[in-house]
Amino acid sequence: MMSFARLLALLVLLLATLPGWALAQSGNQSLTVHFFDVGQGDAALVISPTGKTVLIDGGPPESRMHLERRLRDLVQGPLDLVILTHPHLDHLGGISNALRTVGARRFMDPGFDHPSEAYRDLLNVVGDEVGQVMKPLPDPSDPSSLLTIGLGDGAALTVLWPRVPEDPFLKGTRSDANSNSIVAKLTYGKTAFLFTGDAEPDTEATLLRKNIDFTSTVLKVAHHGGRHSSTAAFLAAVKPQAAVISVGAKNDYGHPTAQVLERLRAEKAQVFRTDLDGEVVATSDGNVVSVRGERRSGASVLVAGEVTSNAVALGPITRGTRKASTPRGRSAPATSSDTNTPTQRGASEGRYISLKGSKVFHKASCKTLKRSKSERTEYASRGEAMRERRPAEDCHP
């Protein structure tokens, strides 16, 4: 039988869906996540109980005006943090507009090398518009820990992957950029949200070997419901009660796939899809999450939180012990002698250099530096370099 406290929490959230009540309660003791309807892409806005804002991805270029309008509606002042889970166009296309429109205090991405011109252009905008650039690095004084960002009133965002240099980037996967997506768990009271970017099976298998509590009330389904992600083992560890699939209507990829929908049904997760439901809004009071779709008729779906503790790490987070295997039919991954590999980039992390009179900075291994005898400035981190310079286009630091 449902306890009185749980019944009361459900009643409060049900009332919050009625006209007038939401206005009276907004900004007090609730955490809200807006999963924007950006077509075939991802964009989600976290608003913490104290008003801290985190934008996770920015959708494809064609949705940038819609994203800009929604941010103007929901955000006052600059975003506290913008996270790009990985450098693909369907996740970064609207971020530049967002930075120019509402601004941001901090920016985070995996730091994974990618040759995309759109990604290089975004980094230039970040250099001009953002005060601080972060990477999901473990605390150097406690490398067995996970990076956790406090959002006020007990809400926290913990980055589970990647963990360079403690763990090397995954390579030789179906898509290395996808496999090294930022995966983060947002916790508030007994409720949690898991954001997975376009994580691949290699990512999920690597994470499952970690000493982590994956239990989450709401799952942002990886890779728009593509069949390779959201493996049965990973979903069994997450135990989602609600799942949100950010996907474009009648997309060319067949997303979400029947395989993933069946695996979600096996976990008894309530599925929301932006192609069918429009923008999906999930609101947590710390005990229960209310989930509604703007085009879905009827009352919000209420799911109770089952997270026993805000502690995500169940113990020290150790290095991975097994390399990702090369999928059948693919060439072997690059060796350490190849240039511009993720492993090599990780080895030179922490050393960024600019030449006197230059407006850009380079990786320490950049050939431009070897050809020049000009006076140089060395930065201890990429974030420090980006506060004064732009990334160079020849080595893409």
**Tokens coding 213:** 């509590």
Q: At 30, give phi and psi (nearest 5°).
A: -135, 150
- Whether the Cβ atoms of residue 137 and residue 311 lie closer than 8 Å to each other: no
Distances from the Cα of 221 to the Cα of 10, 14, 58, 197, 320, angstroms:
25, 25, 16, 8, 24
67 has which bridge partners?
A: none
What is the tens place of the pLDDT at every residue in 106-162? 999 999 988 899 999 999 999 999 989 999 988 888 889 999 999 999 999 999 999
**Tokens coding 339:** 């240039």
CA–CA distance, 292 with 59 (Å, rounded to integer): 20
Distances from the Cα of 321 to the Cα of 114, 187, 206, 209, 380, angstroms:
26, 28, 9, 9, 29
Per-chain mean pLDDT for the chain: 84
- Whether the Cβ atoms of residue 383 and residue 391 lie closer than 8 Å to each other: no
- Whether the Cβ atoms of residue 146 and residue 153 lie closer than 8 Å to each other: no
**According to the model, what pLDDT value does residue 396 have?**
65
More confident residue, 335 or 194: 194
- Say whether pLDDT at 394 is over 80: no
Report yes or no on whether pTM surpasses 0.85. no
* Dihedral of the alpha carbons of 73, 77, 78, 84, in degrees to the nearest 10: -20
**According to the model, what pLDDT value does residue 11 have?**
45
Domains (range + CATH), the chain: 4-304 (3.60.15.10), 348-391 (no CATH)
The distance from CA 142 to its chain's CA centroid, rounded to whole angstroms, is 23
User: CB 286: neighbour CB atoms within 10 A?
Assistant: 20
In the 8-state DSSP scheme, what is residue 81?
E
Distances from the Cα of 347 to the Cα of 44, 164, 320, 340, 365, angstroms:
32, 9, 17, 11, 10
Distances from the Cα of 143 to the Cα of 64, 137, 163, 167, angstroms:
37, 9, 9, 10
Residue found under tokens 């286009």: 393
What is the tens place of the pLDDT at every residue in 368-377? 777 777 788 8
What is the tens place of the pLDDT at every residue in 240-275? 999 999 999 999 999 999 999 999 999 999 999 999
**Tokens coding 63:** 């949705």
- Whether the Cβ atoms of residue 207 and residue 180 lie closer than 8 Å to each other: no
What is the tens place of the pLDDT at every residue in 53-100? 999 999 999 999 999 999 999 999 999 999 999 999 999 999 999 999
